[in-house]
Structure 1
Amino acid sequence: MDNLDLSKTSLKQFKKIPIYVVEEHNEALQFIYSAIGGKKLPLEGTTLVHLDAHPDMLIDRKLKGKDVRSGRKLLPLLQIENWIVPAAAAGHIGRVVWLRPPWAKQFADGTRVIHVGDHPVTGLLRVDSKEPYYMSDALYSAQLKNKRKFLLTVAELSGVDEERIKGISQDIDVDEPYVLDIDLDFFSTANPFINLYKHIELYDRLEPIFGFNLPQLDDEESCENFCASREQHLEELQNLFEHLEKSGDLINYEGPKTNLYHKVNQLKEVVKAEAERLGEQPDWWMIFAGGCTRDQGGLPHYISTQEEIKECVTKTLKVFLKHMPPPVLITVARSTEDGYCPQDQINFIQSIVLQIIKEAYNTDEPVFHYLNSVD
């Protein structure tokens, strides 16, 4: 028996499975860390079963590897899209099972091994995965220090056929102990950037500015060169939009007047004219954030009907949970304040999801953490 098995046998148990409901998804990690501290989860190698319309598996490009190994000090450094891989880099999460709705296709289905660690020169956290999801943010590096391995399994969870859903639960082959993590935007997904200055089709205008072409070869040198170029591209865009956010114009911009500068300058004129027509000031940082989602065709967007939501929860989710072992704890993210789960649907989705969870497992009363959160 290895050390991990020994640590699992000595774990303490909750009397009832706790449920924590958060607003922003990265807030779920504090409860996972608390369970590790309370010896309810092993220090290393926990499996995260993650139902979400988004993988949440990016890395903040400025995050240092040493910061992910600083325990709970890491938590304030994370955002909704990048909270899982840092926990894997610290060793706490050894496997991620991303269960996606049909309209979310950021990763291909299947299982792969990913290594995460420190870039040997910069010390920044990077992965050795060449998938577009990571290449688009210049997060690839073949050379890693303080390297950790984690397993990523991706599968579509959909349909109402019990045998098929049972097959999915068997195929992913999840062992205890694990964390069940559900983002409510799994059931109905909005892309909050689509309606940003929709009259001028801003979201589409951002694609040629923020887009990229993957290297034709996927050898180590080509990928490293691409990431260096892409990093420069993203850095320049960030500088341009930071300047716009501060001054509202690029007249006094001191950076190089590159082709990218001219593209952003042209966009600025169109956006300012539209904002003036609407009687408002442009939110340049929001526009930059929207542009950063224009890789791989943009974010998923599918607003489900109430009937579709009900069927997915009471049939798909219910059957899936029935064929899964009980998790150690359950985290639920609302993701509505940032626009990813529709505001007019969130309470309906939350109530029926919590009801199905209670029917499936011996759970404690949910802790509504989002009601106590303060800015």
Structure 2
Amino acid sequence: MTEIKEQSSVQPMKRFKKVPIYVVEEHNDALQFIYSAIGGKKLPIEGTALLHLDAHPDMLVDRKLKGEEARSGRKLLPLLQIENWIVPAVAAGHIDHVIWLRPPWAKQFTDGSRVIQVGDHPYTGLLRVDSKEPYYISDALYSTELKNARKFTLTVAEFSNLKLKRNNEQELNKVIDAMNICQPYVLDIDLDFFSTGNPFLSLYENIGLYDRLEPIFSFKIPENDDVSTIEKVIESREAQLKELENIFQHLEEHGDLQNYSGEKSHTFKMVMDIVTAVSVEAERLNEKPDWWAVFAAGCTRDQGGLPHYINTKEGIETMIKESLALLLKRLPPPVIITIARSTDDGYCPPHQVDYIQFLVLETLQEIYETDEPILHYLNAST
């Protein structure tokens, strides 16, 4: 049993003398510092809120992750990726309110609050949610039957520029009221919140690969959202994703589909066309095709693709030095602050990340009494 699970949720919390700041590269690495704060009794074992500023919700679940793995304390950490690190911590009971503040160009969820249950599928033990939103249905993550279920609130609000003008006070109050945040909470900032790249746009861009993947990976959200209809959609989507995974697994292992033993379906034929085009382009570039990268790109095409907005220097400065500062001054201080650079994978533009990080850290240190930032990304193994 881990130190997190041994702690009682009713024990009095200790306090950091100064607000610690942890800067990581990959966003899922932030969770280890949240767990450390729980283990050190600086955060409660249950009932923490996460204020998440990001161009991406990071609220998916690995389709192969079991509920018992989500509740395994630190053993969970190596199983996580950047898009799916939050909900497993919710399933373990540590977080019960996620507030996703999104930039205007990120629209993966509609604004507002909703209560979602997360738990174990009764037959497979896999972690699933009862949300019918396209974000979850597109990954076949919906289930009506859940064991060890936990309820949490997901609040989504748009955060646009709030310049220091009197007529923006009403807009600021609207955002704060929508968040409904209370202590204790973790302030979590992804630097791609301020300028966002879609790294898959440049993957074999000369052949328009990203757009060509859409008809292969997309699916139609049903207009009727009754349980029986959604369950049929989930079954069909699960089969589609499994077939695509098998095809690309074969490609990764063999480099072509000549001896593929699966069904030669319409999906298979569409992928074959992509394989031909990618192989020719890769040969022209004198490189070996990265089929898992192609698969990963396709998996982002289900609902129109990832957000992409390369902000100007002036736009970045306004968002941080004016809007962010104005918002944080109106909120109670967080227990800890986590920051993700998200630049090695191309989500925060590499030519802007250091400047964004400098401005964010400068602003946080002006508002809070903080420790010197711990730059985890400099020492983390690659």
Q: TM-score under structure 2 normalisation?
A: 0.95
Letter matched to residue 324 of structure 1: L
* Offset, 1:248: 1.0
Deviations 1:218-247 (A, max 9, x none): 111111111111011001101101111111
- State the alpha-carbon separation in 1 of the partners of residues 315 and 92 from structure 2: 38
Aligned residue number for residue 339 of structure 2? 332
Q: Deviations 1:124-160 (Å, cap 9, x if unpaired)?
A: 0000000000000000001111000000000001122
Residue 316 of structure 2, aligned match among 289, 293, 309:
309
Are residues 1:178 and 2:179 paired?
no
User: Structure 1 residue 259: deviation in Å?
Assistant: 1.1
Equivalent residue number for residue 24 of structure 1: 26
> Equivalents in 1 of 2:134, 2:35: separation in Å?
30
Cα distance in structure 1, aligned partners of 2:95 and 2:250: 38
Three-state SS of the structure 2 residue aligned to 1:297 is coil
* Whole-Å separation in 2 of the counterparts to 1:258 and 1:172: 46
Contact 1:166 1:323 in 2 (8 A): no
Displacement after TM superposition at 1:336 (Å): 0.2
Contact 2:112 2:178 in 1 (8 A): no
Name the CA distance, whole Å, in 2 between partners of 1:299 and 1:248.
Answer: 27
What is the Cα deviation at residue 8 of structure 1? 6.8
Give distance in 1, aligned partners of 2:120 and 2:40: 28
- What is the CA distance between 1:193 and its match in structure 2? 0.2
The equivalent residue for 2:130 is: 128
1:84-163 equivalent positions in 2, closer than 5 A: 84-161=86-163, 162-163=168-169
Do the aligned partners of 1:8 and 1:41 also contact (CA within 8 Å) in 2? no
Q: Is the 8 A contact 1:58 1:134 kept in 2?
A: yes
- Picking from 176, 195, 204, the partner of 1:169 is 176
The partner residue of 1:197 within 204, 214, 222 is 204
Shift of 1:9: 7.6
Partner of 2:283: 276
Tell me how far 1:170 sits from its aligned partner.
3.3
Change in CA separation of 1:12 and 1:126 when aligned onto 2, cut-off 3 Å: same
Whether 1:68 and 2:75 are equivalent positions in the alignment is: no
Runs of at least 5 residues in structure 1 that lack an aligned partner in the other structure = 1-5
Instruction: Decide which of 36, 39, 60 is 1:58's aligned counterpart.
Output: 60
Aligned with 1:215 (options 198, 217, 222): 222
Task: State the distance in 2 between where 1:205 and 1:236 align.
Answer: 18
The residue identity in structure 2 corresponding to 1:231 is: E
Report Cα offsets for 1:315-340 as digits up to 9, x if no partner.
11000111010000000000000110
Counterpart of 1:3 in structure 2 is none
Question: How far apart in 2 are the matches of 1:175 and 1:87?
Answer: 19
* 3-state SS of paired residue (1:296): coil
1:300 aligns with 2:315: no
Partners in 1 of 2:244 and 2:276 — Cα distance? 16
Q: Of residues 243, 253, 262 in structure 2, which corresponds to 1:236?
A: 243
Q: What TM-score, normalized to structure 1? A: 0.97
1:15 matched to 2:22: no
Residues 292-337 of structure 1 show CA distances to partners (whole Å, capped at 9, x for unaligned) of 0001110000000111101110011000111010000000000000
In structure 1, the residue matched to 2:363 is 356
CA contact (8 A) 1:165 1:316 kept: no
Letter in 2 for 1:66: E
The answer as to whether partners of 2:155 and 2:178 remain within 8 angstroms in 1 is no
Superposed CA offset, 1:59-83 (max 9, x none): 0000001111111101100000000
RMSD: 1.1
SS in structure 1 of the partner of residue 68 of structure 2: helix
